Structures are given as C-alpha cells and as structure tokens.
Amino acid sequence: MKKTCAWLKGALLGGLLGSAVVLLLTPYSGEELKARIKDYIDNVEHEVRKAGVEKRLELESELELMRSGKI
C-alpha cells in the first residue's frame, strides 16, 4: 500500500511540475498556438483532398485505358 501511495504522489507531483515547465517554456500563447494548429490541420486536409482528387483522376484514366483494351 505504501508503494502505491508513494507512486501516486510521485506521479501527481511529476504531472504538476511537468505542466508548470511546459507553461513556462511554451513560445506561443494559447490562442496563437490554437491558430497555428488549426492552420496546419487545414493545410494537411487540403493537401489530402487534392492528392485524393489527383489519384482518382489517374485511376479513372487508367481504367478507361484498360476498358478500351489498350493495356
């Protein structure tokens, strides 16, 4: 029981200290960080959609070639 209690105290203290260090060393404010993350996610989403459209067009043209018997 003592080991479990000591481990929980250590985990709690480590979590609190880790949180404090992160807050002190973070180079951006909360709003700025959220905006940067949102921009990054929007950019990734746009790139994935674009790649999907390009791949679909490529596969459709390849399918047409196969149907026509040229491949």
pLDDT of res. 48: 97
**Which pTM value belongs to this model?**
0.56
Per-residue pLDDT, averaged over 4-13, amounts to 91
* Phi, psi dihedral angles at 26 (to 5 degrees): -70, 125
For residue 71, what is the DSSP state? -
Tokens found for residue 52: 């999907």
pLDDT of res. 64: 94
pLDDT of res. 3: 85
What's the pLDDT tens digit per position in 11-61?
Answer: 999 999 998 898 888 888 889 989 999 999 999 999 999 999 999 999 999
Q: Where are the domains of the chain?
A: 2-68
